[in-house]
Structure 1
Amino acid sequence: MKKVLYALVTGILGAVLLHIVIILGVPHFTGQDAYTRVTEEGAPFVFHALGERPDKTGLASLDPYLKVAVCHFDITRQPLSLVAAGDGVDFWSVAVYDEDGNEVYSMNDRTSVAGDLDMLVASPVQVAQLRKTPIAALAETILVEHRGTVGYVVLRALAAQKSAEPEAKAFLSDAECLPFTGR
């Protein structure tokens, strides 16, 4: 009787574990994970605005009060600089993700310096080099350590009323997602 019960419990636990692995692995094997979709939006180091309806990649800004832009990057050679002036926008937020869709860092205008986006995303080695030789222009820049080399950024701006949409869209279109050149 014990052998039958042991086999039954082992079989059920094995089936549960197998189903979890399959469900979590599907996006990776189908190429429909978030990172792949963002890279299909266009060139790296450019914020691509998302529309209200899903585009060719299936990405969309589904919240009618938020305008959204995405940018994918590769920091193998140099860090990523994210810059945007927060003037005229009621609220904005930014999130950095790795290629597996894990959130590396996020912040919003309430937690930024002076309400503006000024961030560097760098590998641990690049962060150490930046701290070794500090650059005066980076005194108020937020340094984000990213353990991988590729990822994507999601930038959102609130447009709670139709009259706020031009400012939100201007904020996203003026935002920069560029390789860091040393200012």
Structure 2
Amino acid sequence: MTRTLLWLIGGLILGGIIHITAILTLPLLAEETTWSRVSALDANNRMLVLNRVAQGDPNPLHLDPELSYGLCQIDLSEGPAYLNGVLPDAFWSVAVYDQNGVVIYSTTNRDGIGQTVDMGIFNAAQTRLLAQQQIDIAEGLLIVEAPTNQLFVLVRLSAPHEAMRTRFEQELSEITCGPRA
């Protein structure tokens, strides 16, 4: 009886270890990830206004059809990246994501920023240079330190009326994103 109980407990522990290992490794084996979908959009160092998602259509990025989206993919190994421009006077948010789709920084116009977005995104080495005043930045620049070099920025806009959506998306397309020239 004791021997059977030990075998049962051992089997449950081994099964639990195998189960947890499988769950944790499956995402690493996925061929289609958020990063691969973003990379396929050709938004490298430029703000790309995403096509509107119609209800019922495929939505691989799981976007809200009521919002307008701008996407920019950046690589900090090329140098610091900057996001700059003026967004409409309505709700908007900016989020910086790593390759795994994890938000590393997020802000909205309700954080007291107003309509102007002026953000510098730096890796750890660039932040050290910034602290040593070896990188010149404009006063008032919002500084974001990223743990990795491969990132993407997603800007969301909420037009109060459908008639304003086209104008909002035009303003979104004028946001600059990427290294400074």
TM-score (norm 1): 0.82
In 1, Cα distance between the equivalents of 2:48 and 2:10?
A: 49
**Residue 60 of structure 2: which of 52, 58, 61 is its match?**
58
Instruction: Label 1:78 to 1:8 Cα distance change in 2 as closer, same or farther (>3 A).
Output: same
Q: Report if aligned partners of 2:89, 2:115 keep a CA contact under 8 Å in 1.
A: no
Contact 1:89 1:158 in 2 (8 A): no
1:117-156 superposed matches below 5 A: 117-133=117-133, 138-156=138-156
User: Are the structure 2 counterparts of residues 124 and 18 from structure 1 closer, same or farther at C-alpha, using a change threshold of 3 Å?
Assistant: same
Q: In structure 2, do the counterparts of structure 1 residues 64 and 35 end up closer, same or farther at CA, with 3 Å as the change threshold?
A: same
Following the alignment from structure 2 to structure 1, what is the Cα–Cα distance between the partners of residues 92 and 103? 17
Alignment match, 1:11: 11
Equivalent residue of 1:69, what SS? strand
Asked if structure 1 preserves the Cα contact closer than 8 Å seen for 2:124 and 2:147, the reply is yes
Q: TM-score, normalized by length of structure 2?
A: 0.83
Compute the displacement of 1:3 (Å): 4.2
State the distance in 1 between where 2:70 and 2:170 align. 11
How big is each residue's C-alpha offset from its partner over 1:93-112, in whole Å with a ceiling of 9 and x where there is no partner? 01111112211100011115
- 1:82 matched to 2:83: yes
Distance 1:44 1:76 in 2: 13
Q: Is the deviation greater in 45-54 or in 77-86?
A: 45-54
* Aligned counterparts of 2:86 and 2:108: Cα–Cα separation in 1: 12
Contact 1:65 1:160 in 2 (8 A): no
Larger Rg: 2
Residue 92 (structure 2) aligns with = 92
Q: Is the 8 A contact 1:70 1:154 kept in 2?
A: yes
Q: Where in structure 2 are the equivalents of 1:26-65 lying within 5 Å?
A: 26-51=26-51, 52-53=53-54, 58-59=60-61, 61=63, 63-65=64-66
Structure 2 regions of 5+ residues with no counterpart?
A: none
Matched residue of 2:22: which SS? helix
Q: 1:10 to 1:74 in 2, by over 3 A?
A: farther
Q: CA deviation at 1:13?
A: 4.3
Deviation at 1:33, TM superposition (A): 1.1
Deviations 1:80-136, CA, capped at 9 Å, x for gaps? 1011202x3311101111112211100011115333111111111101212322777
Given the superposition, is the C-alpha separation of residues 4 and 145 from structure 1 closer, same or farther in structure 2, using an over 3 Å criterion?
A: farther
- Helix, strand or coil for the counterpart of 1:110? helix
CA distance in 2, matches of 1:3, 1:41: 59
